[in-house]
Structure 1
Amino acid sequence: MTRALGFTLLEVLIAMTIFSILGLASNQMLRSVSSIERQMEERTDEYRTLVRVFKMLDRDVSALVYRGVRDEFGDPIAAVSVNQGLYPLEFTRGGWRNPLKLPRSQLQRVAYQYNGEALQRVVWLILDRAQDTKPRVQTLMTGVTDFKVSLINADGSRQEVITAEDGDELPVGVELTISTELWGDLTRRVNLPEYVPFLTQGSAGALDSEDNLNDIEPDQDDEFEPALQPLSPSVLDGVL
């Protein structure tokens, strides 16, 4: 009598078990690879955002202009304010580009603040504000735990507070520290431009008025990377 060829039930069950284990292992491996790839993309995006934030800080500080402003109540605000008032850093900067040749100033008042969750950039479309003037707040980076500003004197010492008017001598640089959940403490040092008196005649500053600027939209590029023209070359001696 000839015996039928084939697999027994036990052999089939063993084979199915082996293939099931291999399939589960392959699935877990694919999930791990996908998760790592997604995390790398997220880290890359966060790093790019961080680079753009520091680039914006570099450009703003390097284009500092010694021009004080007035607040909503007509009270004067110094040209440069560090760790005073509402914002850790507030100043006037030049080079606010105007490709459409609109009747507005090339100067812009900017400030940086930490709201407890994110680093924000505050901008005003006019320098001397009216009571109905509202700033525009741009969220630059989330996942921030702190934002600190200190000034570097010529002898290397640190200065935490300053309000500088036109003609006042400023320290040689500013140190900006962003504390993040992912990257920890990141410090950038930027050289401050040399003192240049602000000229009101024949300059863009003479065009500041509430009527001209109420309805003007800022440049689209200004959301992250405003094109600035520093008054004097600035050496960026800090690194990320």
Structure 2
Amino acid sequence: MKHFNRQTAFTLIEVLIAVAITAFIAVSAFAIMNQAIGTQESAENNDARLAELQRAMNRISMDLQQLADRQVRNQYGDLMPMLMGDKSAEDTYLSFTRQGKRNPANLPRTEMERVTYRLEEDQLIREQWVVLDIVSEDQILKRPILEGVLKFEVEFYSEEQWVDSWPQSDIGNLDNNEIRTIKPGAVKITLELDDLGELIQIYPLGIG
């Protein structure tokens, strides 16, 4: 009968233990590396999301800062105020005329344009009219500026209170034309995002 050397058997056990420890260390290192990569990717995603939000808020701010006293006509020929919006409507929107339309070719055209913000399929959409007085919806360009938006609401500050729509038909003794050209003191926009929750931004416009 053959006898195994005790020292040899002990050495084999040591080798097996060493292999097991090495495998455990490798698995642990892989898990730590994956966690680090996941953390980095999460941080990068958060940074990208915040940057997207900041760009959208800056876009709205720049538009409102260039608010223009110009009424327009829609595709039905209806005269629309320089600024209008409605929180209580089924389709909440904010629409106004602004200065500063880009004209890189220096063409003989107006520097004003009509823009509208509204919510469509969880996207905050910025609509831009090709001309001030459009004759069809084909003259409206739409571009999403923010994804993952669950709610979009607008309110208007007037006479020391926030109101749900603008313009109001009962502003003093003003006639229809004056009502169309008056502006509120500020616009408040409330957004609810699928990952960041509710955000509120107030844009002062002056005395309203």
Scaled by the length of structure 2, the TM-score of the pair is: 0.84
Q: Which runs of 4+ in 1 moved over 4 A?
A: 3-7, 84-87
Scaled by the length of structure 1, the TM-score of the pair is: 0.73
Q: Which residue matches 1:30?
A: 33
Q: Which residue matches 1:159?
A: 163
Count of aligned pairs between the two proteins: 192
Partner of residue 181 from structure 1, selected from 157, 177, 194: 194
**Given that residues 79 and 166 in structure 1 are in contact (C-alpha distance below 8 angstroms), is that contact kept between their aligned partners in structure 2?**
no
**Given that residues 116 and 146 in structure 1 are in contact (C-alpha distance below 8 angstroms), is that contact kept between their aligned partners in structure 2?**
no
- Deviations 1:64-118, CA, capped at 9 Å, x for gaps: 1121111112222222111169551011111113232023210000000111311
Q: Which residue matches 1:135?
A: 140
Q: Which residue matches 2:173?
A: none
CA RMSD of aligned residues (A): 2.3
Structure 2 vs 1, CA of residues 5 and 86 (structure 1 numbering), >3 Å: closer, same or farther?
closer
Q: Which one has a larger percent helix, Structure 1 or Structure 2?
A: 2
Q: Which residue matches 1:119?
A: 124
Q: Which residue matches 2:106?
A: 101
Structure 2 vs 1, CA of residues 74 and 186 (structure 1 numbering), >3 Å: closer, same or farther?
same
Identity, in percent, stands at 25
Code of the residue aligned with 1:45 in structure 2: it is A
Code of the residue aligned with 1:64 in structure 2: it is L
Which of 1 and 2 has greater Rg? 2
**Given that residues 66 and 166 in structure 1 are in contact (C-alpha distance below 8 angstroms), is that contact kept between their aligned partners in structure 2?**
no
SS of 1:138's partner is strand
- Deviations 1:39-87, CA, capped at 9 Å, x for gaps: 1111101101111111111111111112111111222222211116955
Question: Larger relative contact order (C-alpha < 8 A, sep ≥ 6)?
Answer: 1
In 1, Cα distance between equivalents of 2:32 and 2:199: 35
**Given that residues 62 and 193 in structure 1 are in contact (C-alpha distance below 8 angstroms), is that contact kept between their aligned partners in structure 2?**
no
